[in-house]
Structure 1
Amino acid sequence: MQSGADEPSGSMSNGRKNNRPPGLRGKEIGLYYRNLSRQRKKERGEEPPRIRMGTDLSLPPEILNRVKSCLERFKIAPAEQEFDVEINNYFRYLLNVKFEEFIDEKKKMHQDMDFSDSRLDKKLLTEYEKRMQFNHRDERQKARLKLPTMAYSQHIIEAVKQNQVILIVGSTGCGKTTQVPQILLDYEISQRTGSSCRIICTQPRRISAITVSERVAYERGENLGQSVGYQIRLESCKARDRGSINFCTTGVLLQQMQSDPLLHGVSVLILDEIHERSMETDMLMALLKVILPHRPELKVILMSATVKEQDFCDYFNKCPMFRIGGVMFPVEVLYLEDILSLTGYQFKSKSNRRRKPEAILEHKNMVEPYIRTIRGKYDSRVLDALRLPESEGCECIEFIVDLIYYICERKPEGAILVFMPSFERISQLFNLLEKPKSPKGEHWRDQLILHPLHSLMPSVEQQAIFRRVPQGKRKVIISTIIAETSVTIDDVVYVINTGRTKTSSYDIESNIQMLEEDWVTLANTQQRKGRAGRVSPGICYNLFSRAREHRMAEIPTPEILRCKLESIILSLKLLHIDDPHQFLQTVINAPPKEAINNGIQLLKRIECLDCSGTLTPLGMHLAKLPIDPQMGKMILMSALFGCLDPITSAAAALSYKTPFYSPLGQEKRADEVKRQFARNMRSDHLMIHNTVVCFRETRQACREREYCYNNFLSITTLNQLERMKNQFSESLHKYKFLKYANCQHPDSNKNSEKITLLRAIIGAGLYPNMAHLRKARQLKNRVRAIHQMTTDDGRRVNFHPSSVNSGEFSFESGYFVYFQRQKSNDLYLLDSTMVFPMALLIFGDDVAMGVYENIPYLSVAKTYYFKCNEETANLVIELRGMLKRLLLKQALHPAPLNDCGDDNFLLEAIELILSLDEVDEGDCMSAEEEF
């Protein structure tokens, strides 16, 4: 609360009234002082926290007896005593192995490994010599020789021979990514040591791993899968084992290091685009500093753009550094004031209601001093436009459209690359160009070939951006930051830089991960400018003023400083790095201690770590799965409870993206379709599964394209979700949790029609991400209801407008789980599923019995309180203990549950209790918060 002097000092009593918030009247003043008094008593320990009880969860006698009967028949095998001995003697030893012991063990396993093969060496040399005979006539080889990197071939080879780590700094277009691995592979083959050469080159993005591998294979006159290949999540075309170059995402390599941290078999490791400072790249560099002394024969090449390159050099003990210039034609740079002067564009009168007052003031303070310095250079119309906050960035999509038409009318042929901050902005621009509203737009529509480019687009669609367009057509690529460094499109001549990007940020205090639109850095603007000068002199149109550029940061904030850390911590634990605090201090920019603590705390709450911070058997399995740990727990529980297909649909969509899209102007219709698919299940996650099931049915009838078109669904995304679902089930099958690898197999889906159970399993995975809806009000003349809802940390939230729960009035329960909340103007739950209280008691944490004002209760995490008689409470506590033992047993001995086994009695008991939740629970209340 803000303080304010709303009364003269003479009327104050001991100075307290001066601290009262202004504007309070009558009863409000009394309530303020009452709450203030209670707060002080609570802080002094004089007044216990007041509790509001939720619904009564006491089990009816009939159900109580049936559950007791099931638990009596449930047995844990092996016997309890033998089970504890096994945990202490085997699994605890395995999980408590120190990193140094783990490394020594792996070294002994591979100490006699020899990859050299004289017959293969001879074969590779013959192929190489044959290729070299034709290279002088090959246009591809002539193009390679023009690249600056090729002039450094011998220097690079010598540096790699003499040093374990080198840094290559190269400008856009120098050819470092495509040529350095080829230079090293060809040298080894020519020296008859090709069989011992295996080069891995990491890329920060999926699309770059694919496109670079295709380019290198093309230059070598081969198909992918011979000497060149790639491996990304869900997709691969691997090269041969020896004498090869494999491009992969950094995350894939980190996953491989969990089983072989010393990377035996890899002779050269190239880390590309390290200047982007992705979390995976920073982690990989920190791990390399540890493992390189154990692998003296492993060579590491760091490759970076000219962005703080000295930091990387210093990090690896001042390793040698090469600088390679790029092939750059001159690029003319125009700023907002220049563009407004050239195009004569006039902004329509707009209200700034959507902008925060501080943003308007910030813009004014920035632009007014600058305008005074340029008053004689630009006319008053331009200066007035500069004063409008919507003139810069991508606030006015029509301005960008007009600039594209201006380029088409006035400039020679060449592709246009437009940098936009998000998929939503890309869609807005794409739709305006595809369905123009002006005569000028109608004229140019058929002459423009539009290509959206986003990191989550399927690989097949991404490849289309590289194709040349017919004479008389103009290619327009509308891209996020992905086209800045990861993708080189050879025919781009014009770049439109909105100067905006979507960046993640992490508020440590509130423990909220946010994705917000923000201004790029100076490093970003240089990279974007460089995209325009690859094939001819180009032009870069910056949609921001020189004044804005002066305020831009120099480089982006490293990702490790703006993201949650639980997945990284879990990976470190699997590598037997016991102290994440200590290890994370060794990365180039160490994350704050509080961020590490938040990650550890979440891993403890979902039982990946025990109370001492040691990896649990469950945590070990979740670390191996290629998925967020909360999603991993969800699909493991679905395998146990026989509801694999619907839960993997939810996990796939949360890990990838929703299959729905909202065309401009049809957002309401798209929302209606979602609600139809939700079928009143009150779950965004189960709604996704319903769309997947219908997609399968229409695919069998060969009507899938019609189905997707009519329901605002992406057929490529749905196919990708199906591939991910199968990958999840294959992983569970690999680790012996499933009998069959098919996610749709009947044996794995015996309970897939039980909606209450499905919601509970989603809750088990997404917990502790909880929200409590206290009140939903339906106002007159309003289609949607207004919700009063908080998360368990006391923050007010609402359902995101795209959620199927947004605006709904009637809910059978007031509790919701979610995967992600996002802060924009308000704090939103991007996804949500309604769960019932008993699911919280079974799958939540810190469940305890207590009595308040003579009323017995069960509480969850000291946040949610439910009336419950003592007999039911004891039964729930006992059941939770048995479930914990069953999960531990499954982690120790992964196996599908036997249909006739005793374990099924425990699952039957849980299902019996959950089945009671399909009744209206009335008002649900939680621990009262006082202010």
Structure 2
Amino acid sequence: MSKNKGKRPYGLKGKEIGMYYKKLSQQRKQNSKEEAKIKLGCDVSVPPAMLDRVQGYVKLFKDGVATQVNEQRLNEDFKTQFGALISVDFDEFLDEMKKQHGNMESFDNERLDKQLLQKQEEAHELNNIFQERYRARLRLPTMAQAANIIDAVANNQVVLIVGSTGCGKTTQVPQILLDDAIGKGIGSQCRIVCTQPRRISAITVAERVSYERAEKIGKSVGYQIRLEACKPRERASITYCTTGVLLHQLQSDPLMHNTSVLILDEIHERSVETDLLMGLLKLILPHRPALKVLLMSATVRVQDFCDYFDQCPMFHIDGVMFPVQMLYLEDVLELTGYQFDSKREKRAKSAAEQAEHRAMIEPYIRRVRGNFDKCVLEQLRLPESEGCDIDFVSHLIYHICSREAEGAILVFMPGYDKISQLHSILEKPRTALGQHWKDHLQLYTLHSMLPSVEQQAVFGRVPRGKRKVIISTIIAETSVTIDDVVYVINTGRTKVSSYDTETNIQALEEAWVTKANTQQRRGRAGRVQPGICYNLFSRAREERMPEMPTPEILRSKLESILLSLKLMHIEDPYGFLQTLINPPAKEAISNGLALLKRIEALDSAGLLTPLGMHLAKMPIDPQMGKMMLMSTLFRCWDPISSAAAALSYKSPFYTPIGLERRVDETKRRLACNMRSDHLCLHNTICAYRECGRAQRQRDFCYNNFLSFMTLQQLDRMKQQFAQLLHNYKFLSSSDCQHDKSNSNSENVSLVRAIIGAGLYPNMAHLHKARQIRNQVRTVHSMTTDDGRHVNFHPSSVNSGEASFESNYFVYYQRQKSSALYLLDATMVFPMALIIFGDGVDSGVTDKTPYISVAQTYYFKCNPETAAVVMELRDSLKHLLLKKALYPAPVDENSHENELIRAIELLLSLDEGMGDEYSDDIDNI
């Protein structure tokens, strides 16, 4: 026997050893899975009489479509219609665009140029409002660099402008270039597009620039975000848009033939879209020599961008208007004399955290021993002294109120939970000092769940004798500028998303900010007078902080990006993505491609399918796009578009501090026991509509913790989705509530199945739902299809429920925070999985016949049912291919509708067998 048996092969070193054991572990798991006995779920066999009816409907469908067009003909049509489109590479695609648009550099219009110049001169000479606002603009640091900016853009195709928060680069650079073009009599040739990483930024900046130009928005300045726009005039204009919108436009116009200047703002944030756009520009710019590109960044580690664009010129703009004093934890402890209670259990740190803190702080203490009081140094040694200790933050707020001049206080907290805690302690203080200042504080919160109208409240002035305190997440770092902030409290913590390529899980965890974040936060003070930034971490901690955030493309799923690249004729995503500043992991690309193949957006060779082409054109996640397309065929548009709009934007529910339980009760009431977060959202929109007929929408929103603005936005998005699908000919009307689009919208089993068809393969299986006696709480034992244990997020309407008619759920997003949660979920029945899932097969185990989905879910099923279901699935595939090539609604009197009737009949069986489907759930 070999002495090396059971050991790793000789000669392996370093990373090779790890890879060897990883592969060995995967092989053992695979072998174990193959050897494991199949566990059969409920019986999905269909009664013979009903099965005959289903088979009859399928036969009518097949007989009808056979006389019209067969699958071979459909594939030939696809090659004819789209073959040339998908076979060309990116360079060939650009050459074709050049031919279509002709001489794209010729935009001049002499008559318009004279009119623009005359109006500009009149504004400078005669318009008092414009003159006053222009004088205010001149005080911004960017305006002092106007001549340098104009000269750099004239002499270079790519320019990098570096400036801290508050220098005015976002608002002033586009105006400087537009006014210069108009002044030179070439305004008609100037069309500036400025990208923003967030929707709120695009809108608020556009409104601000319109104000500075003494114009209404939509004249020389406008904005465009996903599914919403207030566009400016065609020429001599500035458009602020989200980076995603620009990427979508590149699908049809990759050379941006209508754009003379492209400004990529906030590139230091390293969003997926920005990195992708910079990669595409490297390919596009040689074909558009007249296109000017300005990159705008904060001041941290900008050389990477300079290098990426072949050493493009770079110049700096001074930042804030007034000096800002930077204080660190040791300074704040000395100022306030605060001492931590290290014995409080809630502040307990793990042994690893304590060791890490010791290793960091002890060398620093030895360096600064002579600079600080011994008591301060003892406090620094406590691990709980760093970050966002709520009592410490509130004490610092009271200290500022006591010792510092007037000015708003902006507090950066990591997330909603900490915002809630701080708000509560300031509103109901436990100390005498807190009681003294309680009535002098005017509190505001700022986070993504807050309605837009309440976000606007933070910009207002407070009465004399009051101190404005804004408690915010990272949203106030770049997206929102509050002019009267003088004091910034930077806890140094934030919530950061990450993506584990091996587990394919998105996580949201609290982490330390980067040096770039700290500089941005510092810049929020000092806009109206000298300011102070209180960093609640030591200088030692800052030394360990990374310079920049990890680029988003390294911590994100890539499905939407990959689909867009395919539509832009970039057939090798691995090769293209390797050209980015920071290429994503190959596993992330593989995971994205695998999902696109499972939802049939790509074929087995990785080429776009007809369905994939439609999904790539839709400004929404591919899974939600498929869900909406399916709803047009099954005539349940209204509820599905509600779910898609809310998932792609945000929930209309908001949670006031201290009223979390009442919000949960409201959601459950609106869910109407449908066991679906997605249908809860649709029920909410329907109730909102009903109140609209009686002019009671605002009362309805107030009574049910709903954002009126968000519901309005969701309603607009639904109409915009309907218009889009109507334009693509999938819907006969752009009215969301049109009868022909919604004849099945009241069929809950069908609607849940279509949600499942879209969100699949995001599946979870509930094994046990255990009601704890004498308690309201329910404990769920649930796994996703990769075997990971999950639970419903506390905000889900399914959280806490003790019984379900089925133990299968689809979800859009799972996220790891304190545990692994499904953020949203809809209960679905086995037949929906069998009809709309993938990898469906039949077989026999221990003499029992079964039908399976994706080799994961197995159900008892007689051979007769399995045969009919497999035939039905083939027919559905044929129908989907035909509709992707020839979009049109399914007419209720057509042969196509016979297949829809067959599917409806099978799904109706699910609802009648709920108890049998859930008999393996342990309800105690």
Matches within 5 A, 1:334-353: 334-347=327-340, 349-352=343-346
Q: Matched residues in 1 for 2:576 and 2:487: separation?
A: 45
CA deviation map 1:540-597 (0-9, x unaligned)? 1111222322221121111100111111101111111111111111111100111100
2:143 matched residue in structure 1:
150
Find the partner of 1:363 among 354, 357, 366.
357
Question: What's 1:806 paired with?
Answer: 799
1:691 aligns with 2:684: yes
2:152 aligned with 1:159, yes or no?
A: yes
* Whole-angstrom distance in 2 between the partners of 1:458 and 1:783: 31
Which of 890, 894, 900 is 2:887 aligned to? 894
| 1:94 equivalent in structure 2 | 85
Residue of 127, 151, 161 corresponding to 2:119: 127
Within 5 A, what are the aligned runs for 1:66-465?
66-74=53-61, 75-76=64-65, 78-80=68-70, 81-112=72-103, 114-134=106-126, 138-347=131-340, 349-352=343-346, 356-371=350-365, 378=372, 382-383=376-377, 385-394=379-388, 396-434=389-427, 436=429, 440-441=433-434, 443-455=436-448, 457=450, 459-465=452-458
Mapped partners of 2:794, 2:474: distance in 1: 26
Contact 2:223 2:229 in 1 (8 A): yes
Deviation at 1:312, TM superposition (A): 0.8
Matched, 1:796 2:789: yes
Supply the AA of the counterpart residue of 2:601. Answer: C
Contact 1:54 1:924 in 2 (8 A): no
Moved more, 89-98 or 557-566: 89-98
C-alpha deviation, 1:434, in angstroms: 4.4
Instruction: Answer yes or no: is 1:602 the counterpart of 2:595.
Output: yes
Alignment partners' CA distance in 2, 1:505 and 1:198: 37
3-state SS of 1:213 partner: helix
| 8 Å Cα contact 2:781-2:791 kept in structure 1 | yes
Q: Which residue of 2 aligns with 1:53?
A: 40
Question: 1:373 offset after TM fit, Å?
Answer: 5.2
Deviates most, 43-52 or 241-250: 43-52
Deviation at 1:925, TM superposition (A): 10
User: What is the rounded CA distance, in whole Å, between the counterparts of 2:412 and 2:247 in structure 1?
Assistant: 30
In the TM superposition, what whole-angstrom CA distance separates every residue of 1:443-487 from its partner, at most 9, and x where no partner exists? 544543333333565554444433444433322222222322343
Aligned partners of 1:278, 1:861: CA distance in 2, in Å? 34
| Counterpart-to-counterpart distance in 2, 1:199 and 1:702 | 42
The 8 Å contact of residues 194 and 264 in structure 2, kept in 1 or not, is answered as yes
Counterpart Cα distance in 1 of 2:252 and 2:179: 30
Query: 1:669 corresponds to which residue?
Result: 662
User: Which ranges of 4 or more aligned residues in structure 1 deviate by more than 6 Å?
Assistant: 14-18, 38-47, 923-926
Judge conservation of contact 2:326–2:535 (CA < 8 Å) in 1.
Answer: yes
CA distance in 2 between partners of 1:46 and 1:810 (Å): 30
Cα deviation 1:361-385 (Å, max 9, x = unaligned) = 4334434554555566555654554
Classify 1:707/1:43 alpha carbon distance in 2 versus 1 (closer, same or farther; 3 Å). closer
Deviation sequence 1:690-715 (CA, Å, 0-9, x none) = 22222222333333333333333333
Q: CA deviation at 1:89?
A: 2.2
Q: Does 1:716 align with 2:703?
A: no
Query: What letter is aligned with 2:75?
Result: D
- Counterpart of 2:908, as a letter, is S
What does the per-residue CA deviation read over 1:301-330, in whole Å, with 9 as the maximum and x for residues that have no partner?
111122221111111111121222234432
Deviation per residue, 1:814-852 (Å, 9 max, x gap): 111111111123211111111111111111011112222
> Partners in 1 of 2:648 and 2:770 — Cα distance?
33
Distance, in Å, in 2 between the alignment partners of 1:598 and 1:17 is 32
Ranges in structure 1 where 5+ consecutive residues have no aligned partner: 1-13, 19-37, 927-931
Q: Tell me: CA distance 1:188–1:431, structure 2 relative to 1, closer, same or farther (3 Å).
A: same
Displacement after TM superposition at 1:914 (Å):
0.7
Question: How big is each residue's C-alpha offset from its partner over 1:486-510, in whole Å with a ceiling of 9 and x where there is no partner?
Answer: 4333322111101111111000100
What does residue range 816-835 of structure 1 map to in structure 2 within 5 Å? Answer: 816-835=809-828
* Counterpart for residue 521 of structure 1: 514
* Whole-angstrom CA distance in 2 between matches of 1:666 and 1:142: 47
Distance 2:715 2:375 in 1: 54
| CA distance in 2: counterparts of 1:699 and 1:561, whole angstroms | 45
Does structure 2 retain, via aligned residues, the 8 Å contact 1:91–1:892?
no
Question: Structure 2 vs 1, CA of residues 87 and 466 (structure 1 numbering), >3 Å: closer, same or farther?
Answer: same
After superposition, the Cα gap between the structure-2 partners of 1:95 and 1:921, relative to the gap in structure 1 and judged at 3 Å, is farther
Give 1:629-708 correspondences, 5 Å limit: 629-708=622-701
- Equivalent-residue separation in structure 1 for 2:514 and 2:33 (angstroms): 52
**CA distance in 1: counterparts of 2:667 and 2:373, whole angstroms:** 50
Q: What residue number does 2:493 align with? A: 500
- Tell whether the 8 Å contact from 2:498 to 2:507 is kept in structure 1 after alignment: yes
Residues 1:766 and 2:759 aligned together: yes
Question: Given the superposition, is the C-alpha separation of residues 44 and 233 from structure 1 closer, same or farther in structure 2, using an over 3 Å criterion?
Answer: closer
How far apart are the structure 2 equivalents of 1:644 and 1:232? 24
**What is the deviation of 1:891?**
1.2
Give the counterpart letter for 2:477 in structure 1.
E
Query: Aligned residue for 1:868?
Result: 861
CA distance in 2, matches of 1:677, 1:353: 38
Please name the residue that 2:19 is paired with. Answer: none
Displacement of 1:56: 1.4
Residue identity opposite 1:86 in structure 2: D
For residue 138 of structure 1, give the secondary structure of its aligned residue in structure 2.
Answer: helix
Answer with 454-463 or 730-739: which moved more. Answer: 454-463
- Shift in CA distance, 468/760, structure 1 to aligned 2, threshold 3 Å: same
Distance 2:187 2:605 in 1: 48
Q: CA RMSD in A?
A: 2.8
Kindly provide the amino acid, as one letter, of the partner of residue 115 in structure 2: K
Distance in 2 of aligned mates of 1:354 and 1:73: 69
With 122-131 and 443-452 compared, the bigger mean Cα shift is at: 443-452
Describe the shift of the 1:111–1:618 C-alpha distance in structure 2 as closer, same or farther (beyond 3 A): same
Give the structure 2 partner of residue 569 of structure 1. Answer: 562
Query: Which amino acid in the other structure matches residue 366 of structure 1?
Result: M
Q: Which residue of 2 aligns with 1:850?
A: 843
Structure 1 CA distance for aligned equivalents of residues 766 and 730 of structure 2: 36
In the alignment, the residues of structure 2 paired with residue 697 and residue 451 of structure 1 have an alpha-carbon distance, to the nearest angstrom, of: 32
2:452–2:709 CA contact under 8 A, matched in 1 = no
- The farther-off stretch of 472-481 and 271-280 is 472-481
Tell me, what secondary structure is at the counterpart of 1:466? coil
Matched AA of 2:295: L
Task: Give the stretch that moved more between structures: 596-605 or 676-685.
Answer: 676-685
Q: Which residue of 1 aligns with 2:537?
A: 544
Q: In structure 2, do the counterparts of structure 1 residues 218 and 582 end up closer, same or farther at CA, with 3 Å as the change threshold?
A: same
Alignment of 1:32-51 (within 5 A): 48-51=35-38
Q: Secondary structure at the match of 1:317?
A: coil
- Does structure 1 retain, via aligned residues, the 8 Å contact 2:255–2:287? yes
Are the structure 2 counterparts of residues 359 and 685 from structure 1 closer, same or farther at C-alpha, using a change threshold of 3 Å? Answer: farther
Contact 2:804 2:918 (C-alpha < 8 Å) held by counterparts: no
Q: What is the SS of the residue equivalent to 1:259?
A: coil
The CA distance in 1 between the partners of 2:449 and 2:91, in whole Å, is 38
